[in-house]
């Protein structure tokens, strides 16, 4: 799709939302496109890390709400179908086994904000702005915001962001726990490239299991988490990557992981 770009380089796949005239608002066909892209990446062992970003100086202004109908009955039926498409894209993002990095410039609002904070780590330029703007449009949270926000910032701060829909700057977003790093605009590309290369050089199986363990942790007791950790380590010790890591440690060199 012209509005969604996918570039692969050295096991790093970069997904770019490319509708800059609309600040990268996502229309109905693009939700389907994102679902397809994320599912394809999930099954591609050559893809070891995913970077999500926007073209033209903005990350994403959320769903493209232009052209909405006025008929209440038609809108209800249509909106339910539309939200299923949004939900499928969100689920596909969160099911990615690979580590995901959101590289944010400009606006990340509404579903665009939740697309960013739904990634495993968020790197923001100092000119970026975030908002759970739904309430200003007479809407409630979507694209997983009700699930991911309390996990990132805590319940009460999540309610503040959702109830007031304020636009906050990058430093404020960092202080609230929405983003991991804030950098000058001119430094963000190099920083994300370095993080992506480090993750791409890491052990894919162990990283995927670590991601799943952390994502599941809030739903488990300590005993259940320990059982899951034991199962994951058992899998790791059966891989050639763990054997390679042990050899590299003994030989005092960097390991070369193959994902096997």
Q: Is residue 82 part of a domain?
A: yes
- 10 and 24 share a domain? yes
The rounded Cα 131 to chain-centroid distance in angstroms is 16
Helix/strand/coil for 255: coil
27: exposed, middle or buried (C-beta count within 10 Å: 0-12, 13-18, 19+)?
middle
What pLDDT, on a 0 to 100 scale, did the predictor assign at position 126?
A: 97
Distance CA 124, CA 102 (A): 8
Tokens 């009955």 belong to residue: 73
Q: pLDDT at position 68, please?
A: 59
Residue 107 lies in a domain: yes
Residues 230 and 121 in one domain: no
Residue 257 located in a structural domain: no
174 shares a domain with 119: yes
Quick check: 53 and 103 in contact, CB under 8 A? yes
The 3-state DSSP class for residue 78 equals helix
Give the per-residue pLDDT at 72.
Answer: 47
Q: Is residue 39 part of a domain?
A: yes
- The conformation of residue 26, written as its DSSP 8-state character, comes to B
Same domain, 196 and 211: no
Quick one: pLDDT at residue 234? 97
CATH number at residue 210: 1.10.12
Per-residue pLDDT, 74: 46
Name residues whose C-beta falls within 8 Å of residue 134's C-beta, 6 or more positions apart in sequence. Answer: 110, 140, 141, 142, 145, 162, 165
Residue 211 shares a structural domain with residue 97: no
Closest CA to 61 of 29, 17, 13: 17
Tokens representing residue 225 in the block: 């988490």
pLDDT for 139 equals 95
Supply the range of the domain harboring residue 209.
Answer: 204-251
Q: Each residue's pLDDT tens digit in the chain (260 positions)?
A: 799 999 999 999 999 999 999 999 999 999 999 999 999 999 999 999 999 999 999 999 999 987 654 444 444 447 788 899 999 999 999 999 999 999 999 999 999 999 999 999 999 999 999 999 999 999 999 999 999 999 999 999 999 999 999 999 999 999 999 999 999 999 999 999 999 999 999 999 999 999 999 999 999 999 999 999 999 999 999 999 999 999 999 999 999 999 99
Pairing verdict, β 49-54 and 12-17 = parallel
Rounded Cα–Cα distance for residues 101 and 53 (Å): 9
∠132-135-137 over CA atoms, to 5°?
105
**Rounded Cα distance, 110 and 165, in Å:** 9
Same domain, 211 and 167: no
| pLDDT, position 81 | 83
Model confidence pTM above 0.85 = yes
User: Do 22 and 49 lie in a common domain?
Assistant: yes
Same domain, 110 and 189: yes
């Amino acid at each position: 799709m012209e509005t969604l770009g996918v570039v692969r380089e050295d096991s790093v796949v970069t997904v770019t939302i490319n509708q800059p005239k609309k600040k990268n608002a996502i229309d109905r066909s693009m939700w389907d496109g994102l679902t397809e892209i994320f599912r394809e990446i999930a099954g591609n062992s050559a893809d070891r890390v995913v970077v999500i970003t926007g073209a033209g100086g903005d990350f994403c202004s959320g769903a493209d709400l232009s052209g909405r109908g006025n008929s209440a009955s038609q809108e209800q039926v249509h909106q339910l179908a539309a939200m299923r498409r949004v939900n499928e894209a969100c689920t596909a993002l969160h099911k990615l086994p690979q580590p995901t990095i959101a590289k944010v410039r400009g606006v990340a609002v509404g579903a665009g904000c939740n697309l960013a904070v739904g990634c495993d780590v968020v790197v923001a330029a100092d000119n970026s702005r975030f908002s759970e703007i739904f309430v200003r449009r007479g809407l409630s949270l979507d694209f997983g915001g009700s699930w991911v926000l309390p996990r990132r910032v805590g319940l009460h701060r999540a309610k503040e962001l959702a109830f007031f829909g304020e636009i906050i700057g990058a430093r404020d977003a960092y202080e609230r726990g929405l983003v991991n790093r804030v950098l000058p605009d001119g430094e963000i590309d190099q920083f994300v490239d370095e993080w992506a290369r480090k993750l791409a050089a890491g052990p894919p199986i162990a990283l995927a299991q670590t991601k799943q363990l952390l994502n599941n942790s809030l739903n488990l007791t300590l005993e259940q988490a320990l059982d899951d950790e034991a199962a994951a380590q058992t899998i790791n010790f059966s891989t050639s990557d763990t054997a390679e890591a042990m050899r590299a440690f003994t030989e005092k060199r960097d390991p070369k992981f193959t994902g096997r």
